[in-house]
Amino acid sequence: MRSKNTKTVVVFGATGSIGRVITGKLLAEGFDVIAVARDQHKLSKLRELFSVRRPTMVGRSIDVTRRSDVDYLQDLIDQKGVQIWAVVYAVGNFPAGGFTREISTPISGVHGKELEELFALYPVGFQNVAQRMLLVMEEGGHIVALSSAMSRFANTPGEPWSRWHLSHHAAAFAALDRIISGYGRARTAATEKKVLVHRIAPAAVRTHFYDGAPPELLPPSGFTTPEAVAREVLSALRGTEAVDTVVMPEQAGDR
Ligand SMILES: NC(=O)c1ccc[n+]([C@@H]2O[C@H](COP(=O)([O-])OP(=O)(O)OC[C@H]3O[C@@H](n4cnc5c(N)ncnc54)[C@H](OP(=O)(O)O)[C@@H]3O)[C@@H](O)[C@H]2O)c1
């Protein structure tokens, strides 16, 4: 963990399709980045991607669903005397080719364990991270959470794509959205520290998650890109107001 003169951002989910683009943009803008995920091999590969300024690795797997892991990270940051200026929550579960399976299973057909795992990842994981990181954050910092536009759209019965809006992912994102907005209320730890809590909610992002999906099941509004999401994150970090935005495809019909 580096100097105290540079602003430090912790990116949770830094090795993901979106998290790694955000990490690259932050490094290019001169921020120190602490990259967090579970798989150390993927984190080492991420470091290799960048030649001059590189993200810092924590040195062990951090699972956001385990409070003891997030406590460990907070203690480590505290011991190093680093003040965190911003936290980006880009944790997710968007495996290659996963979309077809997701859309074929309505929430009524999902096993409770799967639902439990997604709730652990989104609302509970975010809660673990936000609570602990606020203790080591600078006043006037930022927490940026990636959510999903899917929890904002109405379901249109009969359209294959609309099943996604009633999936277990959508339910977990809706719960995450409630937790994020809770941090914007008066007299939370975040508001006392004047930390802005941003919600960036992308529509479908062109990632390997959609690989192999039948075209008729793809989102009719098209895709946005990890770069467009990363631009919104950087823009939120430059601002002085909490951002709550949906990131839609730049060109409708980009499939
Ligand atoms: N892709 C899309 O179409 C889309 C659309 C709308 C919104 N989003 C938002 O963007 C987020 C990221 O999406 P993505 O496509 O980049 O996902 P992704 O490629 O699956 O990446 C997920 C990242 O989270 C990490 N992670 C997963 N479980 C974790 C855990 N328990 N503890 C710590 N880290 C964990 C992964 O690394 P490890 O597995 O090594 O831990 C990886 O770095 C989503 O969750 C969602 O909020 C995505």
CATH classification at residue 32: 3.40.50.720
Q: What percent of the chain stands above pLDDT 90?
A: 73
More confident position, 218 or 50: 50
Buried b (16+ CB within 10 A) or exposed e, 143-170: bbbbbbbbbebeeeeeeebbbbbebbbb
What are 196-237's pLDDT values in tens digits? Answer: 999 999 999 999 999 999 888 888 888 999 999 999 999 999
Query: Which mutation among 10, 11, 18, 225 tests ligand 1's pocket best, with the greatest number of atoms within 8 A of CB?
Result: 18
CA of 147 relative to ligand 1 center, distance in Å:
10
CA of 124 relative to ligand 1 center, distance in Å:
14
pLDDT greater than 70 at residue 192: yes
- Number of Cβ within 10 Å of residue 61's Cβ equals 13
Q: Establish if 96 belongs to a structural domain.
A: yes
- Distance, in Å, from the CA atom of 167 to the CA atom of 154, rounded to the nearest integer, reads 13
CA of 146 relative to ligand 1 center, distance in Å:
9
Q: Establish if 252 belongs to a structural domain.
A: no
Q: What percent of the chain stands above pLDDT 70?
A: 93
More confident position, 137 or 168: 137
Report the pLDDT averaged over residues 7-32.
Answer: 97
pLDDT greater than 70 at residue 4: no
pLDDT greater than 60 at residue 254: no
- Distance, in Å, from the CA atom of 151 to the CA atom of 201, rounded to the nearest integer, reads 9
Report the pLDDT averaged over residues 35-39.
Answer: 98
Q: Establish if 255 belongs to a structural domain.
A: no
Q: Establish if 131 belongs to a structural domain.
A: yes
CA of 98 relative to ligand 1 center, distance in Å:
12
Q: Establish if 136 belongs to a structural domain.
A: yes
Q: What pTM was computed for the model?
A: 0.95
Q: Residue 176 CA: which ligand 1 atom is closest?
A: 47
Q: Residue 38 CA: which ligand 1 atom is closest?
A: 41
Q: Residue 120 CA: which ligand 1 atom is closest?
A: 31
Q: Establish if 224 belongs to a structural domain.
A: yes
CB within 6 Å of ligand 1 — which residues? 12-19, 37-39, 42, 62-65, 90-94, 121, 146-148, 202, 204-205, 207, 209
The letter for the amino acid at 192 is: E
The protein residue whose alpha carbon is closest to atom 2 in ligand 1 is 205
Q: Establish if 145 belongs to a structural domain.
A: yes
How many domains is the chain partitioned into structurally?
1
Q: Establish if 1 belongs to a structural domain.
A: no
CA of 78 relative to ligand 1 center, distance in Å:
26
Provide the residue range defining the domain that includes 74.
8-247
What are 93-121's pLDDT values in tens digits? Answer: 999 999 888 888 878 888 999 999 999 99
- Distance, in Å, from the CA atom of 150 to the CA atom of 104, rounded to the nearest integer, reads 16
Per-residue model confidence (pLDDT) at position 1: 62
